[in-house]
Amino acid sequence: MTNRRRLPGIYAALVGLALAGCGQAPGVDAAAMQHVIDRVAIEDLLDDYYANFGGSANEDFAKYYTEDATFDVNGLVYHGHKEIVGLYDTLGDQGALPPGTFHMLVTNPQIKIDGDTATAKVLWTGVMNDKIDGPPHFQEQGREYDLLVKQGGKWLIKKRVVIADSGLPDMFKATYSPRKDFDVTKED
């Protein structure tokens, strides 16, 4: 759960002030206000992205990436919209998830913004609900490192590195090697 979900009134008030042009009012720092707006937009991007998991609309994933994006999933690397969408199509075709209702929890966001670029690190935990009369169980967990850019006023993912810590699907076993924290700003 992100902070803005716990404190929606504060975020709404800050965004409202910024949108109302109060950034120039005494005591209101316009740069700090833009930082809050950008952080909320990045958190929304990540939340919206993961809300698609467990669904069937894989083509929706392209809208979160730049045209020239790179997506590294446990050592398999995909470039551009077509390859990234193809990955999700492949995962869906292979039945990566068993039957049931799947939810992806995105937690512990560490977001650093520098103008029109940003980095984000989050933990993700896949939770499967396969029986209405039974408890949910963890399906997978790992880390994600993103390099984001603002294009046309919208935040998009330029580079994403996903590292599983458990629940690794079979298709990634041949390319998987344990990786600790990852610097998404460095070239591979």
- Is 187 among the domain residues? no
d(C-alpha 62, C-alpha 79), whole Å: 11
- Is 177 among the domain residues? no
**pLDDT tens-digit series, residues 168-182:** 888 788 888 888 877
d(C-alpha 183, C-alpha 180), whole Å: 10
- Is 77 among the domain residues? yes
- Is 112 among the domain residues? yes
- Number of domains within the chain: 1
Q: Is-above-0.85 flag for pTM?
A: no
pLDDT of residue 8: 47
pLDDT of residue 44: 93
- Is 127 among the domain residues? yes
- Is 73 among the domain residues? yes
Instruction: Return the number of other C-beta atoms located less than 10 Å from residue 12's C-beta.
Output: 12
164's enclosing H/E stretch is: strand 154-166
pLDDT of residue 40: 94
Expressed as residue numbers, the domain containing 69 is 3-172
- Is 184 among the domain residues? no
- Is 74 among the domain residues? yes
pLDDT tens series, the chain, 188 aa: 444 444 444 555 555 555 555 445 556 678 888 899 999 999 999 999 988 776 555 557 889 999 999 999 998 999 999 999 888 877 765 555 667 888 889 999 999 999 999 999 999 999 989 899 999 999 899 999 999 999 999 999 999 999 999 988 887 888 888 888 778 888 76
pLDDT of residue 9: 47
